[in-house]
Amino acid sequence: MKVYLDSCTIQRPLDTFAMLRNKLEAEATLGIIQFCVDGTLELVSSEALVYEARRNTQTVRKEHALSILEKATHTAVIDSSVENRAATFESRGVKAMDAVHVALAEAADVNYFCSCDDRLLRKLKQMRDVPFMPVSPLELIEELER
What pLDDT sits at residue 30?
A: 96
Query: pLDDT tens digits for 61-107?
Result: 999 999 999 999 999 999 999 999 999 999 999 999 999 999 999 99
Give the domain range for residue 8: 2-144
| pLDDT bracket for residue 60 (50, 70, 90) | very high
Total tally of structural domains belonging to the chain: 1
| 65: CB partners within 8 A, 6+ apart | 7, 10, 11, 49, 52, 53, 56
Query: pLDDT tens digits for 99-110?
Result: 999 999 999 999
| 108: CB partners within 8 A, 6+ apart | 2, 4, 44, 46, 74, 76
CATH number at residue 134: 3.40.50.1010
